[in-house]
Amino acid sequence: MHHNTKPGKKRLLAATGLAAAAALTLSACGSGSGDGGGNDKAVVTDVSGGDHSQDKAVTVLDTPFEKPDLTLTDTHGKKFDLRKETDGKPTLVYFGYTHCPDVCPLTMSNIAVAKKSLPEAERSKLQVVFVSTDPDRDTPAELGKWLTAQDPAFIGMTGDFKTTQAAARSLGISVEPTHKDKNGKLVSTHGTQVIAFSPKTDKGYLLFDKDATVETYTHDIPKILKGEKP
């Protein structure tokens, strides 16, 4: 696309367009309120190369994110230190909640299906961490039950909301306290991005938005296992 555009201008257009696309993923999951506001600080460059170079659902971060210093309770009721437990491991991190009617289960399902396409020896290397944005309802037991239905190996974290919110913000992801919508239903407004952390640097270098499909993850996860760009 735009093969005649000057490199500098092309880079600027790509970064501007993708930043806007990333901002659109900050939504109220299941609330129908659209934009959830945000703190989308990610600086992005062109979409990753390869045979899906036009897939705008994934972006390479120009300035990778530091892995959040986050310790919460896992689905077994034990403390889970994100940095310590995933150190040097390819890791996908997502913020969401189990009562989400749409994007959360779809995102986890897409990742689970893509993971199954990996050779068996490779599957255990990928760490998939789901951090609850609705800790009052997402007890360790409830979160564990929900994640097991997706993939028993998925890791769940739940606990202090403000701690979770700060961790999400450090990744440019907006998370707001659970509240009632106009119909009186409890909803959690949260960004829908998945951040991939490299096993080489432990930094978040890829961002997947809610439009990422099974095919997107199937294509990119083998690269993530090696800390490579898609």
Domain membership of residue 39 (yes or no) is yes
Phi, then psi, of 203 in degrees rounded to 5: -110, 150
Q: How many domains does the chain have?
A: 1
CATH number for the domain that contains residue 32:
3.40.30.10
Question: Residue 187: is its pLDDT beyond 90?
Answer: no
- Residue 211's pLDDT is 95
The CA distances from residue 216 to 67, 83, 90, 97, in Å, are 23, 26, 17, 22
Question: Residue 54: is its pLDDT beyond 60?
Answer: no
Q: Which residue has the higher pLDDT, 37 or 220?
A: 220
Domain membership of residue 2 (yes or no) is no
Question: Residue 44: is its pLDDT beyond 80?
Answer: no
Domain extent at residue 122: 7-226
- Residue 31's pLDDT is 39
Domain membership of residue 126 (yes or no) is yes
Domain membership of residue 63 (yes or no) is yes
pLDDT-derived band of residue 55, with 50, 70 and 90 as boundaries?
low
For residues 15 and 183, give the distance between their C-alpha atoms in angstroms, rounded to a whole number. Answer: 38
For residues 102 and 70, give the distance between their C-alpha atoms in angstroms, rounded to a whole number. Answer: 26
Domain membership of residue 23 (yes or no) is yes
Domain membership of residue 53 (yes or no) is yes
Domain membership of residue 1 (yes or no) is no
Residues 155, 159, 160: CA angle, nearest 5 degrees: 145
The model's pTM is: 0.80
The string of pLDDT tens digits covering residues 189-225 is 899 999 999 999 999 999 999 999 999 999 999 999 9
pLDDT-derived band of residue 56, with 50, 70 and 90 as boundaries?
confident
Domain membership of residue 197 (yes or no) is yes
